Amino acid sequence: MPGGTLVTEGEVAARFKVSRTPVREAFLLLESQGLLRLFPKKGALVTTPNATETAHLLTARIMLESRAVELQARGGQPAAGDDLAALLDVQRDAAARSDVPAFARADHQFHARVVAGSGNPIIDDFYAQLGPRLARLTCLTVQANTAALLRFVDEHARLAALLAAGDAAGYESLLRRHVGA
């Protein structure tokens, strides 16, 4: 749903033919993730990331992902190349079909997989906590830049190559350009 949309538990429950209890629980979860703002007896507002929140999210993403790559380079165990290659294939296919949601999902999964490769469950947990907000930001970025989908894939392929080469500094530099930070 676009940012600024006001929804109620009753509307969502009716739409998905479920009781209000799971919708209420979902609303609470989405609020804890920063994706909804609840207004008692009125409904929930779908939030929209502003420029400040976007900058903060990207700073945290760069910090966590770059550290994960550094740990992989030090340990000599980069993220599984097959996993990243498969996600690149999904992105190429989605770009060819102009399937923005599929592209955005694969984009987010690519970066999450790089972080998961760190072998550090604390870094992975922090990234997972930011996951829904980062996924939304990725989706909004991809929607606003559909003409750049193939460039995003190319940058991901270069990021994967830098990771495989153990070039943590090169990875962080390209990642900063990739996310526009």
Say yes or no to pLDDT of 23 above 80: yes
Find the CATH number of the domain harbouring 28.
1.10.10.10
- If pLDDT is split at 50, 70 and 90, which confidence band does 94 have? very high
Can you give the residue range of the structural domain that contains 102? Answer: 51-179
User: How many whole angstroms from its chain centre is CA 54?
Assistant: 12
Does 33 share its domain with 60? no
* Confidence band of 1 (pLDDT split at 50, 70, 90): confident
Number of domains, the chain: 2
Clarify whether residues 42 and 56 are in a common domain: no
* 36-39: strand order across its sheet: 6-7, 43-46, 36-39
Answer yes or no: do 106 and 27 share one domain. Answer: no
**Per-residue confidence (pLDDT) for residue 119, from 0 to 100:** 87
CATH number, domain with residue 144? 1.20.120.530
Q: Do 113 and 73 share a structural domain?
A: yes
From residue 80, alpha-carbon distances to 32, 55, 122, 171 in Å are 32, 29, 19, 16
Instruction: State yes or no: pLDDT of 104 exceeds 80.
Output: yes
Q: Are residues 138 and 107 in the same domain?
A: yes
Question: Mean pLDDT throughout 115-140?
Answer: 91
- Report the mean per-residue pLDDT for the chain: 91
CA 157, 176, 108, 47: dihedral to nearest 10 degrees? Answer: -160
Lowest average pLDDT, out of 14-23, 59-68, 76-85, 121-130, goes to 76-85
Residue of 37, 28, 34 whose CA lies nearest to 4: 37
Model pTM? Answer: 0.85
84 lies in some domain? yes
Q: What average pLDDT does the segment 115-133 reach?
A: 91
Question: Within a 10 A sphere around the Cβ of 11, how many other Cβ atoms?
Answer: 13
Residue 180 pLDDT > 90, yes or no? no
User: Band of the pLDDT at 77, cuts 50, 70, 90?
Assistant: low
**Which pLDDT band, with edges at 50, 70 and 90, does 78 fall under?**
low
Q: Is 1 part of any domain?
A: no
Residue 181, pLDDT above cutoff 90? no
Quick: pLDDT tens for 130-168: 999 998 998 898 888 888 999 999 999 999 999 999 899
d(C-alpha 108, C-alpha 87), whole Å: 10
Rounded CA separation 19/15 (Å): 10
Q: What pLDDT score was predicted for residue 13? A: 96
